[in-house]
Chains A and B, each alone.
Chain A
Amino acid sequence: GESVGLHLPTLSVQEGDNSIINCAYSNSASDYFIWYKQESGKGPQFIIDIRSNMDKRQGQRVTVLLNKTVKHLSLQIAATQPGDSAVYFCAEIPISSGSARQLTFGSGTQLTVLP
């Protein structure tokens, strides 16, 4: 079946640098995408979302870019801080999920911020 996947399982960045986490999705019918952050021992925490009618959305220190042509999603974190160290998941809601609006999660990228 179609699924959400990630290019890299791990990413290490220096504190203060910008981070870019990538996600490839295969379901062209998905109309909503979310990025979640999961710290060790905790549940996923919402970061930012984007609908398929948008290419870019900005939050506080985070930006999500959506390229529907190549079915690619990215999360950019500006001035990465130690507290950003976590696993980051992208997730999508395919239109086919109907009224349940079920999220399909990727396997995650471990971001490590180096001092």
Chain B
Amino acid sequence: NAGVTQTPKFRILKIGQSMTLQCTQDMNHNYMYWYRQDPGMGLKLIYYSVGAGITDKGEVPNGYNVSRSTTEDFPLRLELAAPSQTSVYFCASSYRPGTNEKLFFGSGTQLSVL
């Protein structure tokens, strides 16, 4: 069972470039999340989705977009990369908020914007 899979693991972007961070889960979880983690800091929520076709902003959504066309996939899009977006990005999913709250995390994507 693969769990939550993120690609790529590392990426370097130039200012103004765009890219999509991929996330897929095979646990049939309805809830999916994107977090960013700056050095020495906790995780901050960028966007989340409560099911296919439904997305909503988290704490730090500016500069990002998401889509959720299937239960399995939740890609994160950076349209105009900025140095402030240099961070480690984690995708997570959970089964049933309210009864089973555990988030399962992917291994992360380390992004540098130069």
Interface residue from A4, A32, A44 paired with B90 (Cβ < 8 Å): A44
1/0 contact string of A91-115 vs chain B (CB within 8 Å): 1010000011111011110000000
Nearest Cβ in chain A — how far from B27, in angstroms? 13
1/0 contact string of B77-106 vs chain A (CB within 8 Å): 000000000000010101001100111111
Is there an interface contact between A43 and B105, defined as CB atoms closer than 8 Å? Answer: yes
Is there an interface contact between B98 and A102, defined as CB atoms closer than 8 Å? Answer: no
Is there an interface contact between B42 and A108, defined as CB atoms closer than 8 Å? Answer: yes
Q: Interface majority SS on B: helix, strand, loop or mixed?
A: strand
B-contacting residues, A25-66, CB 8 Å? 32, 34, 41-46, 49
Is there an interface contact between A43 and B90, defined as CB atoms closer than 8 Å? Answer: yes
Chain A interface size, as a band, is 20 to 34
The docked-state distance in angstroms from the alpha carbon of A100 to that of B107 is: 22
Nearest Cβ in chain A — how far from B98, in angstroms? 7
Judged by a CB distance under 8 angstroms, whether B111 is at the interface is no
Contact A93 to B101, CB < 8 A, known contacts A100-B48, A107-B40: yes
The docked-state distance in angstroms from the alpha carbon of A105 to that of B92 is: 14
